[in-house]
Structures are given as C-alpha cells and as structure tokens.
Chain A
Amino acid sequence: MPGHVFHPGHEELHGITVVLNDPAGRTFVGRYHELGPRGVVLHDVAIHDPATTDLDRAEWLIRQRRFGVQVTQRLAVVPIADSQPIQRLADHG
C-alpha cells in the first residue's frame, strides 16, 4: 500500500517532527500530534533546557538533526504564543 496514510483528517503538521519553544526558554523537538487548549501535543520528545545543560541550544539542535531525536519523554504539551512559528526540524538550521 505505497503512499497510504493512516491518519486522515488531522492538521497538516500531524506526524511531522517540529521544533517549539516554551515561555520558560526550553526547546522541544517532537512529533506534532495536535494543537490543544493547553498547547501543542508532541510525541517522542527531546527537550533542551538551558537551566540543566551547558550545551548551547544551536549545538543541541545540530545534534538532533545529525544523530536523530534523542527522545526523553513520550509525550509533552508545550504552551506556545499564538505568534510563534512552528518549524519543521527538517527545515531548521
């Protein structure tokens, strides 16, 4: 069944790995599920928290792109500002 998509009716970004920032300055990379009332629901999520790592955000993103998403959480809900663009990891950098 080449080209078959199992998830019809979802948002355009459903199933796409995206990069998001929350108001606390953390960066999330994960697979977009949906935009809910509390924020964007992501699956299989890697998180960069400047409060807990010395690794620069830009360098961290380069690593995610080169070696793949280093998943630390299966699910995250990320509150985002309405104005925040949602960028695909594939288009980042």
Chain B
Amino acid sequence: MPYDERLVGPMRAELTRLGITELKTVAEVDAKLGDPRGTQLLFVNSVCGCAAGAARPAMALALRHQVRPQALLTVFAGQDVDAAARARSYFADYQPSSPSIALLKDGEVVYFLHRYQIEGRGPDAIAADLKAAFDQHCTA
C-alpha cells in the first residue's frame, strides 16, 4: 500500500531538485527508457529510511562530479507501482530491490548498485562508487 504523499513528497523532491526526472507512469518510463541512447541513470527511490536515507544524499554528492550520465531518471518503488515495474522490465535480469541505482549505456546495464551495497554505508562512500562508475562508463 502506498504511503501518504505528505511523507513521500520530500523524498521525491530530494531527487527532483537535483534535476532528476521523475517517471510516474508507464508511458513516461517507456518514453525515456524505450529510447536508449547514451547513458541513462535510473534511481529506484524508496521510503526505506536506512538505505534510501543514505542513497539520496549520495546521489546528490555524485552529481557534483564532472562526469555524469546524460539522462537522470527516477521511479518510486511502492508508490508509483506500475511505473517502477515497467522500469525494472528494462533490466529484468536484476532482482528488484529499492533503493537501487542502474546505469545503462545504449540500453544495456553497465553498472548496478543494489540495496545491499547501500545498506549501512554513508553517503560519501556510496557517492564514491557512483562517481567511479560515471568515470568508467560515462566518458566519450
């Protein structure tokens, strides 16, 4: 059951204010992930305070990096259920978990940060992993 939007709204805003486009419908997901050109980052957002509470600030830190994916996208697991399921269908080999972060290049997953790699870590450490992935996969 989705959480009250009054609780979730600030968690959405924590990403959208970074310039990350939130995809709330299947059509919005298909419009972005169905056009797999270049590098696309998809943040699967979550209300989980322990993991997502570190992952969102980590995302903010990582996006200060000079090298970044071309498209920055997010879906909210457990809230925008259909959109999240559709987004996950674009990387169906990967088990659903949230929060998680997928980096795709021309439609192929080149990096995946699972929830288990987020749990118990601080934003700085998570951001370091993301920046390393950006350096590896998002340069021309």
Contact = CB atoms under 8 A, between A and B. Distances in A.
A15 B99 CA distance: 13
A13 to B, nearest CB: 8
Q: Label chain A's interface by main secondary structure.
A: loop
Contacts of B54: 3
A31 B116 CA distance: 9
A2 B97 contact: no
B4 to A, nearest CB: 14
A89 B116 CA distance: 7
A15 B48 CA distance: 10
A7 interface: yes
Contacts, number: 65
Interface in B41-75: 48-51, 53-54, 56-57, 60
> Looking at chain B, what size class is its interface with the partner chain?
20 to 34
Nearest to A63: B95
Contacts of B50: 5-7, 15
Given A15-B51, A15-B119, A17-B119, A68 B114 contact: yes
B47 to A, nearest CB: 9
Contacts of B51: 15
Q: Which 10 A-B pairs have the closest CB atoms?
A: A68-B95, A6-B49, A17-B116, A2-B57, A15-B50, A89-B116, A4-B53, A16-B119, A68-B114, A16-B120
26 contacts: A1-B11, A2-B56, A2-B57, A2-B123, A3-B54, A4-B53, A5-B53, A6-B48, A7-B49, A15-B50, A15-B51, A17-B119, A65-B114, A65-B116, A68-B95, A68-B96, A68-B112, A68-B115, A69-B95, A69-B114, A70-B95, A88-B116, A88-B119, A89-B116, A90-B119, A90-B121
Interface of B: 10-11, 14, 48-51, 53-54, 56-57, 60, 93-97, 100, 112, 114-117, 119-121, 123
